[in-house]
Amino acid sequence: MSELETLGDSIHDLKIYYAHAYSSWERGSNENFNGLLREFVPKGVSIHHLTEEQILSFESALNNRPRKILSYQTAEEAFDVTA
């Protein structure tokens, strides 16, 4: 039994999902986010040359974008732990 499986047993209602390698259709939200990120950093372009300020601006733009999966809330609204 893997450590993740024992974690699932110890935390009430924790569901663990294993996606298969090279099966992008099994990770829809992840693939959607990758597409959104490509608006800022095209595929094949290294992120090593980006400044921290640039990366923070990408993060802010993505976290303030309403998402259908979050009932059209932004990620900041949906996951605001200070409220």
Our count of domains for the chain comes to: 2
Answer yes or no: do 50 and 68 share one domain.
yes
pLDDT tens column, 61-82:
988 999 888 899 998 888 876 7
Query: Which residues, 6+ apart, have CB-to-CB distance to 27 below 8 Å?
Result: 19
Answer yes or no: do 83 and 50 share one domain.
yes
The fraction of the chain above a pLDDT of 70, given in percent, is: 80
- As a dihedral over the C-alpha atoms of residue 7, residue 9, residue 10, residue 13, rounded to 10 degrees, the angle is 100
Supply the pTM of this predicted model: 0.59
Q: Which domain holds residue 60?
A: 46-83
pLDDT surpassing 90 at residue 52: yes
Is the separation of the CB atoms in 34 and 28 below 8 Å?
no
Outline where the chain has alpha helix (H). Answer: 3-10, 28-37, 52-63, 75-78
Answer yes or no: do 50 and 83 share one domain.
yes
Q: What is the pLDDT of residue 27?
A: 84
pLDDT tens column, 25-34:
888 888 888 8
